[in-house]
Homo-oligomer: A and B are copies of this chain.
Amino acid sequence: MTIGELSRMTGLSASAIRYYEAQRLIPIAARRSGRRVFDGRALEQIAVVRLARDAGFTLAEIRQLVNEFGKNRWRPLAERKLAEVRGAALRLRKMARILESLIECRCADLEFCGRAIRHSCREGIRKGDKKRETLRP
């Protein structure tokens, strides 16, 4: 299988597959006259990476997962990640609540409106509050 075929089958771009190889997320493919040749195992390996990625692991964590923790050591990592994901979900729920308050508030002025919400929600300014969520659609 060529990289193009693998790309079509997985939905990953060819450059992403090369990148995964360089990052040691998948084993280094055999070469035939300089070009990569893949077999069915590559498909399986990419599926594992994809699953982990869909579960919220970073590529650095996935490297750990596939290279160092073959046997059973991935469980604690998964549990830590689950806690992280739940924390992130919690923060998103807070965002949604703020937005809902803003929308349902009748003020025309955002600053005024925000003041009302801060008063009603008791969401003052806290020092050292650095948590931030990014939205990547």
Chain A residues with a Cβ under 8 A of chain B: 8-11, 44-45, 47-48, 50-56, 58, 65-66, 69-72, 74-75, 78-79, 81-82, 84-89, 92-96, 98-100, 102-103, 108-111, 114-115, 117-118, 123, 125-129, 131-137
Contact = CB atoms under 8 A, between A and B. Distances in A.
Contacts of A52: 110, 114
A11 B128 contact: yes
A125 B47 contact: yes
A8 B102 contact: no
Contact of A95 (B54, B72, B110): B54
A51 B105 CA distance: 14
Contacts of A55: 95, 98-99, 102
Given A51-B98, A117-B51, A125-B10, A137 B56 contact: no
A118 B51 contact: yes
Given A75-B103, A99-B81, A110 B69 contact: yes
B92 A85 contact: yes
A74 B110 CA distance: 7
